[in-house]
Chain A
Amino acid sequence: MQWTDKYRPKTFKEIKGYAKEKKLIKQWIEEWKKGNPQQCLLLVGPPGVGKTTFAQIIGHEFGEYIELNASDKRSYDILMNTIGESTTTYSLFSDNPKLIILDEIDGITGNDDRGGTRAINKIIEESKHPIVMMANDLYSKRLTTIRKKVTVIKMGKVRSPSIRTNLESICKKEGIEADKETLNTLAKRSNGDMRSAINSLQALTEESRKLNPEDLNSISQKNDKATIFDAVTTVLKSKNYNHIRDALYLDEEPTLVMEYIAENIPREYKKPNEIKKAYDYISKADIFFGRTRQSRNYGYWKYATQFMGLGVALSKDEKYRKFTRVTYPQSFTKMAKYRGKRNLRDSIAEKMEAKMHVSLKTAYTMFPYFEIMFQDDKTAYEISSFLELDDKEIKRFRKKKIPKKFIEKMDKERAERRAKERAEMKNAFSSNLNSSEETVDFKTNDEESIIDFKSDDGLGLESDSVDFKSDDDEESIIDYKENKLESNLKKSKDFNSTNMDIKESKDSNATNLDIKESEVNNDSESNIKEDIKSTVENTKGKDSKSSKKYKENKGSKSDKEEKDKDNTVQTSLFSF
C-alpha cells in the first residue's frame, strides 16, 4: 500500500497546521448543511500540499461525492453529461447535498477537453450542490473566468519542519531507523511537497527498513511537471553552477526544457544585451541537439544542456529581484490555436502537390501569388478547378466566392468544348470506318472507350502493356489507348497461348485496384483530353489496321465476356 494513502489524514483533526483554512472550510460545510448554498471552493496550491486530502475529507463530511480528475476526458459534452445534470437535481431519497470534486481544473487543455472551461463555468452558476475544485496555478488563463465566481483557498508549500515531523512519525509507525539529519535533508529536497517526501521515504526504506544518508543520492527529486518550471526559474534566477546543474537534472525531453527556457528569457531578462547573449546560447544548444539527432551520438547532449543552462544563466549581468511567472512555450499554444487554419493550408498544399509536382514546402511559397491571382474571377476559376479546390479552400485566397453566374458560364463553356472535342473524335473514328457495315454498333464501342480512357489514365496500364509488349510490339502501341475491350480480347488470346501472361496481368490488376482510389481523383480533365487527342492521331495514322481491329473486336465480344469475367468486372469498376 502506498504510504501516501495509508497515512493520509482522514479527518480535519489529523491535519496539522492550516488552521485558518480548516476553519473556513468547516464553516462552509456547516452553511451547506443548514441549507444555505455557498460559493464553490477552489483549493489552489502546488502539488503535494494536501488539496486532495482536504477534498476527500470534505467529501466524507457530505457522505456522497462525485470526482472527476485529469485522467478523465473533460470536454464540454462529457462534463455536462456526467455532472452537469446532477448539479441541478436533488437525490430522490435524501435532502443532503452531494459534493462534486473537480481535480486539476487548470489541466483542462487541448482538443480532447474542448469547451471544458465553459462547462465548468456553467456548472458553477447553475449548481445546487456544493463543488470543490482544485488547481495548481491560480493565474492560469483557464481560471480567469472561474476565479471570480469562487471562494479561493490558497495553500502554500508545506514547510520543511512540518514535513520532517510527519516523516518522523511515519518512520516510528513503520519501525524505520532514520536519523533526524537525513530526514531533514529529505524534507528539504522535497521542496514543500509532502507527497513526494513520503513517496521517497517509502521507496528508500521499504526493503531495508533503514534510511542511510547516502541513499538520498540514489533518487532524484520528484519528477513532475512542477520541476520544469522550477528548472526554468533556477536557470533564469541563479548564477550558481551547482544549483543549475541540479535543477536541470530532470526527467523531461531536453528540447522541451530548452523551449521553456527560451520562452521565458525575454520575460525575465530586460537588457537587450542579455537577451542577445542568452539566446545565442540557446541557439548553440539547438545546434548540438541537431547534431545529436543527425549523428545519433547522445554524447552531444551534455553540451546542449550546459549551453541552455549555465550559458543562459550567466548571460545576465546581475540577478533580477522581481517575480516572473514562468510561461508555457507560446509557440505550442499558437500551433494549437491555428490548427484549423493550418489544416486548410495543408489541404490546399496537398492538392497542389498532387497536381503540380511540388512538395508542401514549395507549395506554401506560391500562396502569396495565388492570393493575387485569385482576385481575378477567371484565373481563380481556372486554378481552382484545376486543383479541384472547394469553396472553403477558395476562400483562403479571396474574400468573396467566385460569382455563381460566372462559374455556371465557365462550366457551360467547358462542357461545350468537351462535347465538341468528343464529337470530333467520333467523326475521326467513323471516318476510319467508312467501309464498315454497322456504324451503330461501333458507336456503342466508341462510347465505352471514352469512359475507359478516363479510368485508364493515371491508373497505370501495366497489366495491358505486359501482354502487348511480350506479344506484339507494333500493334500494341496503337491498341492500348484505343480500347479496353481490345486489351481484354488480347488477354483472352494470351490465355490460350501463355498462361503466364494472364496471371501476371491479373496480379497487377489487383494492385491497380489499390492504387485506384487514390489516383482516380487525379484524373484531370486535361489529361483525358490529351489522351483523346493522341488517340485520334494514332487512329488516323493506322486507318486500316484499327478498323480491322474493331471488326475483330465486335466478333469476339461475347467470347471475351465469358472468358474474362474478372477483367470485365475490373473494367466496370474502373469506369465509374
Chain B
Amino acid sequence: MIGPWVEKYRPQTLDEVVGQEQIIKRLKNYKNEGNMPNLMFSGPAGVGKTTTALALAKSVLGEYWKQNFLELNASDARGIDTVRNNIKNFCRLKPVGAPFRIIFLDEVDNMTKDAQHALRREMEMYTKTASFILSCNYPSKIIDPIQSRCAIFRFAPVKSEDIKKRLAYICEQEGYNYTDEGLDTIVYFAEGDMRKSVNVLQSAATEGEEITEDSVYGVISKSKPQDVHNMITAAMTGDFMKSRDLLRETMILQGTSGEDMVTQIYQDVTKRVTDGKMDSSVYIQLVNDIAETDFRIREGSNPRIQLEALLAKFL
C-alpha cells in the first residue's frame, strides 16, 4: 500500500492502537459481548479517535464491517436532513453478517444543535440494530441529552515514549536511519498528536536518508508558515491593518480554523519569550488575552472577529 504514512501506518486492529491502553482494554470486551452501547470518544486531534473507531468496528463487526459501518465526518453535510435521511435509512436495515450496525460520526461538536437534537431520537429508536460512535474535541459543545446516552471515553494525548516507539517502528519499516534526538524533537513538537508526528517524520524523511534533529527542525520551521509570526510582529509594532490583513489571508487561503490559529499565536508568543525577545510581564498579559480569545471563539459566532480583536490587544 502506498500513500502518506499517516494512512499507511494507521493501526488496523485494536491491539495495534498506540497509547490508549485503558480504553482499548474496555473496548475489546464489546467484541465478546455481542452488543455495544453508544460511545463517545473525546480528545484532542491526532490521539487515535478515528483509528480506534475504525479498528473497533472491524473487530466487532468482523468480516462484514464495511457493509455495516457508516462513517460521516464533519465535512459531510450533516444538517438535520442527513440525520433524518441517511442515518435513519442506514439504521433501519437489518444488520447483515454482524450483530449490529455502527454509525461513526466524526467531529460531532461541529454539528448544529438542531442536528444534534435530531440525532438524539435516532440514537434511542434504533438501539436494537445500531450503535453510534461519536467523536469530538470538546464534549462541552455537545448537547447534554446526547452525552447522557453515550459512554464517554476521554482520549489523552499520546505519551511521548509511545509516539517515539511508533516512529522508530515506521523508520525501520521504511528503511530510514534515525537519531534519538531527531525523534525526541518530533515528539516534543507534536505535543501528543500522533498524526502530526508521523507527518513531520515523513516530511523529514524526504529531506534526507537520516532523521536527525536538524532535519526535523528544518521541517518544523518550514511547515510553520511565517505568516503568523509576521502577523504578530506587525501588530506589536502598531501596524494593525497589516496584521489584520495577514490574519485574514491566512485564514481564508489556508483554511486555518480559529482554534488552530489561537494555538499558533500562542506558540509564537511563547517562542518569543523563551528566546528572550519578549518581556515576561508582557507575555503573561498576552497569554491572558489569548486564553480569553480561545474561550470566546467557542462562545462566539465568528472566530475571525475574535482573532482580530486579539490582534488589537497586541498593539
B96 to chain A, nearest CB (A): 5
B257 and A361 form a contact (CB under 8 A): yes
Chain A, Cβ-Cβ closest to B304: A331
List CB contacts (< 8 Å) of A303-355 with chain B: 330-331, 334-335, 338, 341-342, 345-346, 349-350, 353, 355
Number of A-B residue pairs at CB separation under 8 A: 191
Partner of A355 from the list B7, B75, B255 (CB cut-off 8 Å) is B7
Q: Does A373 contact B (CB under 8 A)?
A: yes
A289 and B301 form a contact (CB under 8 A): yes
Bits for A452-492, please: 1 = Cβ < 8 Å to B, else 0: 00000010111001101100000001000000000000000
B96 and A280 form a contact (CB under 8 A): no
A359 and B300 form a contact (CB under 8 A): no
Q: Which residues of the partner chain B approach A385 to less than 8 Å between Cβ atoms?
A: 2
Complex Cα–Cα for A341 and B299 (A): 30
Q: Which residues of the partner chain A approach B96 to less than 8 Å between Cβ atoms?
A: 462, 465-466, 469
Of the stretches B62-70, B176-184, B265-273, the one at the interface is: B62-70
* Known interface pairs A276-B315, A279-B312; A465-B75 also in contact (CB < 8 Å): no
Of the stretches B121-129, B241-249, B274-282, the one at the interface is: B241-249
Complex Cα–Cα for A272 and B306 (A): 17
The CB with the most chain B CB atoms within 10 A, among A349, A362, A382, A458, is that of A362
B67 and A372 form a contact (CB under 8 A): no
* Known interface pairs A334-B252, A364-B256, A369-B202; A289-B300 also in contact (CB < 8 Å): yes
Chain B, Cβ-Cβ closest to A283: B309
B75 and A361 form a contact (CB under 8 A): yes
A400 to chain B, nearest CB (A): 15
A356 and B6 form a contact (CB under 8 A): yes
Chain A interface secondary structure, helix, strand, loop or mixed?
A: helix
Complex Cα–Cα for A462 and B97 (A): 9
A199 to chain B, nearest CB (A): 34
Bits for B301-312, please: 1 = Cβ < 8 Å to A, else 0: 110111011001
Complex Cα–Cα for A462 and B64 (A): 9
Complex Cα–Cα for A549 and B200 (A): 50
Q: Which residues of the partner chain B approach A386 to less than 8 Å between Cβ atoms?
A: 2-4, 7
Partner of A286 from the list B205, B225, B241, B305 (CB cut-off 8 Å) is B305
* Known interface pairs A287-B300, A360-B75; A526-B2 also in contact (CB < 8 Å): yes
Of the stretches B21-29, B150-158, B160-168, B216-224, the one at the interface is: B216-224
Q: Which residues of the partner chain B approach A335 to less than 8 Å between Cβ atoms?
A: 252
Complex Cα–Cα for A530 and B58 (A): 15
Chain A, Cβ-Cβ closest to B241: A266
Q: Does B191 contact A (CB under 8 A)?
A: no
Chain A, Cβ-Cβ closest to B66: A460
B73 and A372 form a contact (CB under 8 A): no
Q: Which residues of the partner chain A approach B294 to less than 8 Å between Cβ atoms?
A: none
Q: Does B145 contact A (CB under 8 A)?
A: no
B4 and A373 form a contact (CB under 8 A): yes
Q: Does B54 contact A (CB under 8 A)?
A: yes
A266 and B7 form a contact (CB under 8 A): no
Q: Which residues of the partner chain B approach A278 to less than 8 Å between Cβ atoms?
A: 312
Partner of A382 from the list B2, B71, B107 (CB cut-off 8 Å) is B2
Size of chain A's interface in residues, with CB distance under 8 A? 74
Q: Does B206 contact A (CB under 8 A)?
A: yes
Q: Which residues of the partner chain A approach B249 to less than 8 Å between Cβ atoms?
A: 334
Q: Does A367 contact B (CB under 8 A)?
A: yes
Chain B, Cβ-Cβ closest to A529: B1
A289 and B4 form a contact (CB under 8 A): no
B309 and A338 form a contact (CB under 8 A): no
Chain B, Cβ-Cβ closest to A374: B206
Q: Does A293 contact B (CB under 8 A)?
A: yes
A359 and B67 form a contact (CB under 8 A): no
B301 and A255 form a contact (CB under 8 A): yes
Q: Which residues of the partner chain A approach B260 to less than 8 Å between Cβ atoms?
A: 365
Complex Cα–Cα for A350 and B255 (A): 13
A342 and B253 form a contact (CB under 8 A): yes
Q: Does B287 contact A (CB under 8 A)?
A: no
Bits for B195-216, please: 1 = Cβ < 8 Å to A, else 0: 1100110110111000000000
Q: Does A375 contact B (CB under 8 A)?
A: yes
B67 and A360 form a contact (CB under 8 A): no
Q: Does A383 contact B (CB under 8 A)?
A: yes
B75 and A359 form a contact (CB under 8 A): yes
A372 and B75 form a contact (CB under 8 A): no
Q: Which residues of the partner chain A approach B222 to less than 8 Å between Cβ atoms?
A: 368, 371-372
B67 and A353 form a contact (CB under 8 A): no
Complex Cα–Cα for A335 and B251 (A): 10
A477 and B223 form a contact (CB under 8 A): no
Complex Cα–Cα for A291 and B73 (A): 25
Q: Does B38 contact A (CB under 8 A)?
A: no
A276 and B313 form a contact (CB under 8 A): yes
A526 and B3 form a contact (CB under 8 A): yes
Q: Which residues of the partner chain A approach B54 to less than 8 Å between Cβ atoms?
A: 357
Complex Cα–Cα for A345 and B195 (A): 20
Q: Which residues of the partner chain B approach A360 to less than 8 Å between Cβ atoms?
A: 74-75, 255
Q: Does B229 contact A (CB under 8 A)?
A: no
B97 and A469 form a contact (CB under 8 A): yes
Q: Does A424 contact B (CB under 8 A)?
A: no
Complex Cα–Cα for A289 and B301 (A): 6
Q: Does A393 contact B (CB under 8 A)?
A: no
Q: Does B42 contact A (CB under 8 A)?
A: no
Q: Does A448 contact B (CB under 8 A)?
A: no
Chain A, Cβ-Cβ closest to B235: A272
B138 to chain A, nearest CB (A): 13
B248 and A331 form a contact (CB under 8 A): yes
B225 and A356 form a contact (CB under 8 A): no
Q: Does A220 contact B (CB under 8 A)?
A: no
Chain B, Cβ-Cβ closest to A345: B255
A293 to chain B, nearest CB (A): 6
Q: Does B171 contact A (CB under 8 A)?
A: no
Q: Which residues of the partner chain A approach B244 to less than 8 Å between Cβ atoms?
A: 266
Given pairs A365-B196, A458-B66, 7 additional interface contacts (CB within 8 A): A283-B305, A289-B300, A353-B75, A359-B106, A369-B199, A379-B206, A385-B2
Residues of chain B having any CB pair with chain A under 8 Å: 1-4, 6-7, 10, 45, 50, 54, 63-64, 66-67, 71, 73-75, 93, 96-97, 106-107, 110, 113, 195-196, 199-200, 202-203, 205-207, 219, 222-225, 238, 240-241, 244-245, 248-249, 252-257, 260, 293, 296, 299-302, 304-306, 308-309, 312-313, 315
List of 7 A-B pairs having minimum Cβ-Cβ separation, nearest first? A386-B3, A272-B315, A283-B309, A279-B312, A290-B301, A376-B206, A359-B74
